[in-house]
Amino acid sequence: MFKRGDYYYIIHGDLCCFCTRGSDAKVLMSKSPMGPYTEVGAINTYNEHHLAVQNNGIIKVKDQYIWTADMWNSSKSGLKSHDH
């Protein structure tokens, strides 16, 4: 969850713990941190442009917000500590 301006946002996806398929990333928005929340869009959907990643977090850099994710089972060594 993060706040931008007057709104609170939650980005979440289908549960996919450490799986290669990754998850989607739905965006929900509310005026209150306790809700109610309304789905307003998606960052990563299950289509031909889907990134096989699992949501990680949001980083604020100056006035921009960057969505981050983990790409499980992506290392040649097979070690999770080497995944992208």
Rounded Cα–Cα distance for residues 30 and 50 (Å): 26
What tens digit of pLDDT does each residue of 36-75 get? 999 999 999 999 999 999 998 999 999 899 999 988 888 8
Residue 75 has a CB neighbour count (10 Å cut-off) of: 13
Specify the number of domains making up the chain. Answer: 1
| Number of other CB atoms surrounding residue 24 within 10 Å | 17
pLDDT band at 1 (very low <50, low <70, confident <90, very high): very high
Contacts (Cβ under 8 Å, ≥6 apart) of 83: 70, 71, 72, 73, 74, 75
pLDDT band at 16 (very low <50, low <70, confident <90, very high): confident
Report the sign of the C-alpha dihedral through residues 13, 47, 69, 67, in that order: negative
The pTM (predicted TM-score) of the whole model is 0.81
Query: Domain span at residue 64?
Result: 2-82
